[in-house]
């Protein structure tokens, strides 16, 4: 029998051949025993993994495929503790409600690293979605900044705080393209557009993992939910989907490809089925597309109970069958493991091969190596006090929150609040509400939220009275309405997506004061605002802005921040229009795109958002009107700030493929730029479009660049813009 010391010796003997300069000495601290130096790091990981694999028992291998969690309010129980000691726990999932102290986290890790036979560290996972302790706006809100750099910085802050508390792995970004605002999880992704989800998903991966993902302030990212979850029928989260092969490849898969290219270490499967195959048993998607075609090297984890759901989906006969289906499909780790314990039986029955188990173990160990967990399994220094809600982190959260607020209506330029204003009334259900951190709050606390009222009061000039009642001398009413966090998020779907009725009644009751009204909406999803546009001069979409809610709101209302956010998901006129999105496929009769009782167009389209200044687009120039099949095209337009304030404008580039072998969307976003213009200033903004970006999947689903005509727009939103044309020629 091998004892611990002998095993270490064998591992060293196998793994350090040719690396004598960095050979660990016997008796060295356990945490260094599989250490990789920068010299051997890149190309020796797989040798290290191979050598470990040769030493692992089946139980230890299956242990790596298991993620256990703390049940309910309890922390880890004795069964789990024993399993860790035996090396049979690959990962622990930390719930928000009973977050571990650093000591507790290190204690579990010590059991794995110092008491288990092989000392393989645990990877600790947690839902870090839009902040850890300093809470940023929801992901959907963040996408409205159209600023990948800001989103990356926000993810960096979240990673720093989470890693300080011992989180190694964040279950984000969610890149599920979402076109149904009834779906509560639309708040967790980056809107209705595939291209934007790809860009922001990659930005989050970069923000979490950084250039050196083994650094103490980084965590592994998890692209989720693979794949097509946003297409759940009727916006009801755990429903089936009906996704055509074309839509799957053109819309739902590309953000995952982008995440893999960015180096995302993990991917989580979805709850839905894809045309009859549950995502957690989706061999084609996981093995063929993700692992083979995209070259994904990390591991795939199931969602919570998703392996069990294979029974409920009615495709697995029993627990062993469910486990083998998931593993064979390419799901390497089971979240909240129950069923993967049955893989031993599946192996004995021959429905699972040891090579498949080994491949899964290999992928999990690879991620642990990449994260530096073998070298640095413990949180050594507690710097949470300096980091959590630090001035620097709050500043980032405030900037992001202000930058994500979308101004949809501003009649008579009621906003920004002018210097002559003497009295502001801040009223409504959300005026003093702290539940504005979204559905995933991680360790965010209500008491750390700056409310709308407090933020407005503390940022107003001392000559302005800020009250919570409407007085005779009130100059402007800020009505804060919206939906609480339990109206959206996981399993929180709505059939009626208007502002709750009693709040609309309240807004109506404000009309009698005959004062200008600014409606600030705190929402998770696109809402149907058609019943409130007449009841307020200005409408500002604040989303759920997080810890810095009131400060960020004040920045926007007082004009310290000139809004530039634009919608990344269409706001419908009625739930009856849903799904309504800008890039619908061209139809035989475009005039048929309406209802007898309503237009087919949304109330506020994708890409739309106002500023306190105005911009004019002119002088579109297209370098040439014919380009070769593998050429590039430069196009530009002059944007002029025609208003009296400096500001940013998000300039968007759309194309339409006029004639192809298959029907194409009426518009597709192909680029955007955020530019700053002083009042009166003009700039020529240029884009370079490569024909590769215009490639389509032909009838055989091969990517091809098809010759033919295109329309192109340089535009301020998806319904306007300067239109030109060009042609790809053979
Ligand atoms: C279920 C959710 O669908 C997923 O997004 C989340 O990461 C896991 N639970 C873990 O909490």
Does 3 have pLDDT greater than 70?
A: no
Catalytic entry in 127, 180, 303, 555? 303
**In the predicted model, what is the mean pLDDT of residues 672-676?**
98
Return phi, psi of residue 498, to 5°.
-95, 170
Helix, strand, or coil (residue 453): helix
305 ligand 1 Cβ < 6 A: no
- What distance in Å separates the CA atoms of residue 273 and residue 141, rounded to the nearest whole number? 28
Return phi, psi of residue 267, to 5°.
-140, 140
171 CA distance to ligand 1 centroid (A)?
7
DSSP 302: P
Q: Which tokens is 44 given?
A: 């020796």
Band of pLDDT at residue 591, cut at 50, 70 and 90: confident
Is 303 marked active-site? yes
Of the candidate ranges 17-26, 230-239, 559-568, the one whose mean pLDDT is the lowest:
17-26
Q: Which tokens is 326 given?
A: 């998931």
537 CA distance to ligand 1 centroid (A)?
40
Q: Which residues pair with 93 in a beta bridge?
A: 69, 125
490 ligand 1 Cβ < 6 A: yes
Ligand 1 pocket test target in 124, 162, 171, 224 with most atoms within 8 Å of CB: 171
341 ligand 1 Cβ < 6 A: no
613 CA distance to ligand 1 centroid (A)?
41
Strands ordered across the beta sheet of 615-622: 615-622, 632-641, 682-690
Band of pLDDT at residue 337, cut at 50, 70 and 90: confident
- Give the chain's domains with CATH numbers: 4-66+127-367 (3.20.20.300), 394-592 (3.40.50.1700), 615-729 (2.60.40.10)
- What distance in Å separates the CA atoms of residue 176 and residue 241, rounded to the nearest whole number? 13
pTM > 0.85: yes
**Alpha-carbon dihedral sign for residues 230, 236, 237, 243:** negative
Which of the pair, 396 or 96, is modelled with greater confidence? Answer: 396
Q: What confidence score (pLDDT) does residue 588 get?
A: 87
Q: What confidence score (pLDDT) does residue 24 get?
A: 30
| CA distances to 72, 467, 522, 554 from 515, in Å | 50, 15, 22, 19
Helix, strand, or coil (residue 704): strand
Query: Residue 574's closest CA among 496, 648, 647?
Result: 496
pLDDT one-digit tens code per residue, 644-655: 999 999 999 999
303 ligand 1 Cβ < 6 A: yes
**In the predicted model, what is the mean pLDDT of residues 89-97?**
91
Q: What confidence score (pLDDT) does residue 156 get?
A: 98
Q: Which residues pair with 481 in a beta bridge?
A: 521
- What distance in Å separates the CA atoms of residue 582 and residue 655, rounded to the nearest whole number? 12
Count of C-beta atoms within a 10 Å radius of residue 573: 19
Q: Which long-range contacts (CB under 8 A, 24 or more apart) does 293-298 make?
A: 294/256, 294/257, 294/260, 294/261, 295/260, 296/260, 296/264, 296/267, 297/363, 297/366, 298/220, 298/264, 298/265, 298/266, 298/267, 298/363, 298/366, 298/367, 298/370
- What distance in Å separates the CA atoms of residue 204 and residue 258, rounded to the nearest whole number? 11
Name the residue with the closest Cα to ligand 1, atom 4. 303
Query: Residue 264's closest CA among 188, 360, 363?
Result: 363
Count of C-beta atoms within a 10 Å radius of residue 636: 17
303 CA distance to ligand 1 centroid (A)?
6
Band of pLDDT at residue 100, cut at 50, 70 and 90: confident
127 ligand 1 Cβ < 6 A: yes
């Amino acid at each position: 029998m091998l004892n611990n010391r002998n095993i270490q010796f064998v591992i060293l003997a196998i793994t350090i051949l040719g690396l004598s300069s960095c050979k660990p000495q016997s008796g060295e601290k356990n945490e260094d025993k599989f250490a990789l130096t920068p010299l051997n790091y890149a190309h020796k990981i797989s040798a290290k993994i191979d050598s470990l694999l040769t030493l692992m028992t089946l139980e230890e291998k299956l242990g790596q495929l298991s993620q256990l969690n703390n049940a309910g309010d309890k922390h880890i129980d004795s069964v789990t503790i024993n399993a860790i000691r035996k090396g049979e726990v690959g990962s622990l999932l930390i719930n928000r409600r009973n977050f571990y102290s650093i000591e507790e986290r290190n204690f579990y890790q010590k059991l794995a690293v110092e008491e288990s036979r092989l000392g393989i560290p645990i990877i600790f996972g947690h839902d870090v979605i839009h902040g850890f302790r300093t809470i940023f706006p929801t992901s959907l809100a963040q996408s409205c900044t159209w600023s990948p750099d800001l989103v990356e910085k926000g993810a960096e802050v979240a990673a720093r705080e989470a890693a300080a508390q011992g989180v190694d792995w964040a279950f984000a970004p969610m890149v599920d393209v979402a076109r149904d605002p009834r779906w509560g999880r639309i708040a967790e992704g980056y809107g209705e557009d595939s291209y934007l989800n790809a860009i922001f998903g990659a930005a989050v991966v970069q923000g979490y993992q950084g250039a050196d993902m083994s650094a103490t302030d980084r965590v592994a990212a998890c692209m989720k939910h693979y794949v097509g979850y946003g297409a759940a029928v009727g916006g009801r989260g755990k429903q089936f989907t009906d996704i055509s092969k074309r839509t799957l490849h053109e819309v739902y898969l590309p953000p995952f490809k982008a995440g893999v290219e960015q180096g995302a270490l993990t991917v989580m499967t979805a709850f839905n089925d894809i045309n009859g195959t549950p995502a957690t048993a989706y061999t084609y998607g996981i093995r063929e597309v993700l692992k083979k075609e995209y070259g994904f090297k990390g591991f795939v984890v199931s969602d919570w109970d998703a392996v069990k759901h294979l029974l409920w989906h009615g495709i697995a006969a029993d627990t062993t069958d469910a486990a083998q289906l998931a593993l064979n499909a390419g799901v390497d780790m089971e979240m909240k493991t129950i069923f993967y314990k049955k893989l031993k039986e599946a192996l004995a029955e021959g429905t699972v091969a040891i090579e498949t188990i080994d491949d899964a173990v290999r992928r999990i160990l690879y991620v642990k190596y990449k994260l530096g967990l073998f070298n640095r399994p413990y949180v050594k220094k507690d710097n949470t006090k300096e980091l959590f809600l630090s001035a620097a982190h709050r500043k980032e959260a405030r900037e992001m929150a202000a930058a994500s607020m979308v101004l949809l209506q501003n009649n008579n330029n009621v906003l920004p609040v002018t210097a002559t204003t003497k009295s502001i009334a801040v009223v409504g259900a959300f005026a003093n509400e702290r539940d504005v951190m979204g559905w995933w709050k991680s360790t965010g606390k209500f008491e750390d939220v700056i409310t709308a009222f407090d933020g407005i009061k503390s940022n107003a000039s001392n000559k302005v009275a800020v009250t919570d009642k409407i007085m005779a001398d009130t100059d402007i009413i800020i009505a804060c309405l919206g939906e609480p966090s339990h109206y959206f998020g996981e399993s929180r779907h709505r059939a009626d997506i208007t502002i709750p009725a009693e709040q609309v009644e309240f807004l109506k009751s404000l009309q009698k004061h005959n004062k200008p009204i600014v409606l600030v909406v705190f929402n998770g999803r696109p809402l149907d605002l058609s019943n409130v546009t007449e009841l307020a001069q200005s409408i500002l979409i604040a989303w759920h802005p997080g810890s810095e809610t009131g400060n960020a709101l004040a920045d926007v209302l007082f004009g310290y921040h000139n809004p530039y956010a634009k919608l990344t998901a269409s706001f419908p006129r009625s739930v009856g229009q849903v799904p309504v999105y800008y890039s619908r496929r061209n139809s035989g009769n475009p005039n048929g795109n309406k209802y007898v009782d309503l237009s087919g167009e949304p109330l506020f389209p994708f890409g739309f958002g106002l500023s306190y200044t105005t911009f004019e687009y002119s002088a579109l120039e297209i370098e040439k009107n014919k380009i070769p099949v593998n050429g590039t095209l430069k196009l530009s337009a002059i944007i002029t700030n025609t208003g009296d304030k400096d500001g940013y404008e998000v300039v968007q580039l759309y194309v339409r493929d006029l004639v192809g072998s298959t029907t194409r969307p009426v518009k597709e976003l192909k680029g955007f730029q955020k530019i700053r213009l002083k009042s009166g200033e003009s700039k020529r903004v240029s884009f370079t479009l490569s024909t590769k970006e215009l490639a389509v999947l032909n009838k055989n689903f091969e990517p091809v660049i098809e010759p033919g005509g295109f329309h192109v727009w340089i535009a301020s939103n998806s319904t306007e813009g300067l239109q030109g044309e060009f042609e790809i020629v053979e």
